[in-house]
Structure 1
Amino acid sequence: MAGNSDPLSPRAKLAVTAGKAVAAASRAAGRGSGSVIGGRVALKLDPDLLARLAQNLDCVLVSATNGKTTTTRLIAEALRAAGPVVSNALGANMPAGITSALAGGSDAKFGVIEVDEKYLAGVARDTDPKCIALLNLSRDQLDRAAETRMLAENWREGLAGSKAVVVANADDPLVVWAASSSPNVIWVAAGQMWKDDAWSCPSCGGVMQRPGDDWFCGECGFRRPTPSWALSGDHVLDPHGSAWPIHLQLPGRANKANAASSAAVAAVFGVPPQVALERMYQVQAVAGRYDVVQFEGRDLRLLLAKNPAGWLETFSLIDPPPTPVILSVNARGADGTDTSWLWDVDYTRLTGHPICVVGDRKLDLAVRLEVANQQFQVCENLDQAVQLCPPGRIEVIANYTAFQDLRRRVGN
């Protein structure tokens, strides 16, 4: 492979230029950022382009079912203390989007890359990362994502023998099993609120025992490793036992957990926890998530929740009743077309909140809320739902394409 002083080959330069041109044309036509189509064109012209672009970068890959976009942003902010960063900050996390992002960072020292769970092994092969962060694995997009244990197996095989330092969540048995094939793992006690995908042992299929925050398999002895980093309330505990305060503008326990994992990653690159955590305060919103926008005389807080684990975390951070809640669910290609996951979400946590339901699959959601004995109204669109709510704060929770629809409607 080319050394550090070698520029990109003529073919690679052509691929980058063509990709940028196609992306610009796509943006001009109003079809989004253009990063995915641009990356696809570039990879067609030079299939090795991702590896070529990554060869002069110290890369960290971030993969998980929940929290990877936010964690990618937090790590990118932390590493900027040590040099210029290139990152796919808007969440285009498959090879085309990643290639497109790296093509835009010619002076960068670090690549901070969010990777879709299904593509992690391949992207790790191409980018030869210094570090890989694994946060969690839970059910998601049931019609097309592999069953969670199959994803964990894919990770386990893909990471076996990797030279990367793997920063992994010690509280998620699937992540621990996947990461255990790696020779160099740093365990983080980041917590696991959603446990329904981790009752059977990924190693032998036995029943998992879960006393308190611990877990182990009573049959094969597979157990929670001892973490060297931990989230403890509003602090991150480092391997020396020092407690560093977490100051975030992002809400909720899940984001503190993301910050703990991000601090452990930053330390791999030589950025001390105090510096890393202070820099994370800069992140106010992530691709529109957590933004508060004014619309029709109300303050709408936009919250993304794509699967049962995400909805559970989101319910834990909304304002108490009687704050109104608008729920929006679609089932388009990017969401997964199977909405049966709605039955895995505990909607009784919304008791006391006035609820309005919108989105393509509002009737699926209405049936689920009816069974959960919730009071709700089905509305034609966001405008009607907002008008039914009193002035003040409204919590708006939506899955992926429903969230994009909402952002467009409120001009965010």
Structure 2
Amino acid sequence: MSQLPLRAQVASALGRTAATLSRMTGRGDGSVIGGRIGLVVEPDLLRQLARDKRLVLVSATNGKTTTTRLITSALHELGEVATNAFGANMPAGHVSALSQAKRAPYGVLEVDEKYLPEVLDTTGASVVCLMNLSRDQMDRAAEIWLLAQKWRRALDGRPTHVVANCDDPLVTWGASTAAQVTWVAVGQRWKEDSWSCPECGGPLDRKDVDWACRECTFHRPEPQWVLDGDSVLDPHGRRWRLDLQLPGTANKANAAMALAVVASFGLSPDRALPRLGEVKSVAGRYTMVERDGRQARLLLAKNPAGWLEAFDVADPALPIILSVNAQGPDGRDTSWLWDVDYRVLNGRPVFVTGERRLDLALRLDVAGVPFTLATSFSEALAAQPPGRVDVIANYTAFQQIRSEFGRAV
């Protein structure tokens, strides 16, 4: 690996020091502040840190933190990997991650959907993984069709190898300008944002797993990798069983995407799968925490598609605590709550908390779901009988709960 210029070395060192101090003082995990300071000292630091690494950029509305973790775990089979494990997915977080592992030959970076074109241009990443696009933080990220269009323009003419979910029409459209695409069929449970063709605006016809535009030639590509129940079919037709500790259908999809990505590095499924099976929690997601005889499993859901997947994982026999905020990282607009079908919660005790608990309470009331209001997560947890409970929270509410238990990972 070539030596960084002196200015970049100083910037990287100052950033690492700031990150360490942040962790030591309990102000945070250091995944952002170090990068911010580094970029102030050397604005071109991300490009310089990325220069000698084989990088994967992972972007999606849902699942990018988990898929980043799975890819990272598998690539450790080949050597050291730099990664933003805690989900700091904008350039400051990327600088911090790469600074912490300057000598690592590989890097796997989760990237915010909006920032993907900028980060790809800066880093020249060799592989990009694109999984899904659905409505999320409309007050910040704008229409998802515009995001797909940005992806499309950023990939046009680049030699980047794209691994993309062909079951999502918006992802397919965004990825289809790339010079090399590996298509992966992992399904699309949330379809409410992709009934219209992004190419011409016509209606999309769907039949089983297939889809095609009724008015133009835009259609689902033929996949090379296919998720089939608990197994993945590779491009040679071989079947590989997924033995994961992470729960739910969505994580099988994330694992299938990860297998396709690491295959581009020459890592075969038989070597990658044991590594994927070691992952049991991701930045607090799926972690079980305990207080006063109550075991709470933490689930993150930030948008309608994410809540659909969280309901799939939640145990219908258990009580459930729901917590919603609307701070900057969440998006200030909570109108997305009306796109979630909460009727699936009928028949179990439901407790509602968070800064925007009244917004959620109104939505549940309209859906006919009985609930109990709580002024805080601690109050909601204390109201549970000893035993297990599921917790679903959006981003900042999730982080607040996680902090109460020492930011459990």
* Shorter-normalised TM range: over 0.9
TM-score scaled by length of structure 1: 0.97
CA distance in 1, matches of 2:177, 2:52: 27
Match of 1:229 in 2: 225
Instruction: Give the Cα–Cα distance (whole angstroms) in 2 for the partners of residues 282 and 76 of structure 1.
Output: 12
User: Residue in 2 aligned with 1:335?
Assistant: 330
CA distance in 2, matches of 1:297, 1:37: 36
Specify which of 372, 388, 394 is matched with residue 393 of structure 1.
388
- The alignment partner of 2:140 has SS state of coil
C-alpha contact 1:296 1:386 (8 A) present in aligned 2: no
Secondary structure of the residue that 1:35 maps to in structure 2? coil
What is the root-mean-square deviation in Å for CA atoms of aligned residues?
A: 1.1
The 3-state SS of whatever aligns with 1:222 is coil
CA shift for structure 1 position 390? 2.2
1:267 equivalent in alignment to 2:268? no
Alignment of 1:185-334 (within 5 A): 185-321=181-317, 323-334=318-329
Q: 1:4-403 alignment to 2 at 5 Å?
A: 4=1, 6-321=2-317, 323-403=318-398
Bigger Cα displacement from structure 2, 44-53 vs 178-187: 44-53
Q: Displacement, 1:20?
A: 1.7
CA drift at 1:55: 1.1
SS of aligned partner of 1:71: helix
Instruction: Work out the CA distance in 1 between the residues paired with 2:196 and 2:273.
Output: 35
In the alignment, the residues of structure 1 paired with residue 240 and residue 270 of structure 2 have an alpha-carbon distance, to the nearest angstrom, of: 6
Task: Give the total of aligned pairs.
Answer: 407
The letter for the 2-side match of 1:169 is N
Identical-pair percentage: 57
Asked if the contact 1:38–1:100 (Cα under 8 Å) also holds between the matched residues in 2, the reply is: yes
Question: CA–CA distance in 2 between the matches of 1:388 and 1:376?
Answer: 12
Moved over 6 A (4+): none
What amino acid is aligned across from residue 3 of structure 2 in structure 1? P
Return the offset for 1:30: 2.6
1:212 deviates by 1.4
Give the letter aligned to residue 349 of structure 2: P
Question: Aligned-pair distance for 1:391?
Answer: 2.0
Q: CA deviation at 1:313?
A: 0.6
Query: What runs of 5+ residues in structure 1 fail to find an aligned partner?
Result: none
Task: Determine the C-alpha separation between the residues in 2 that align with 1:104 and 1:28.
Answer: 16
Q: In 1, Cα distance between the equivalents of 2:364 and 2:144?
A: 26
Q: Name the CA distance, whole Å, in 2 between partners of 1:35 and 1:302.
A: 21
Measure the CA separation in 1 of the matches of 2:356 and 2:83. 33
TM-score by length of 2: 0.98
Shift of 1:156: 0.4
* Deviation of 1:387 (Å): 2.8
Cα deviation, 1:20-53, whole Å, max 9, x if unaligned, reads 2222333344320223122112112212211111
- Offset at 1:409? 2.2
Q: Secondary structure at the match of 1:47?
A: coil
Per-residue displacement from partner, 1:227-271 (whole Å, max 9, x unpaired)? 000100110100000000111110000000000000000100010
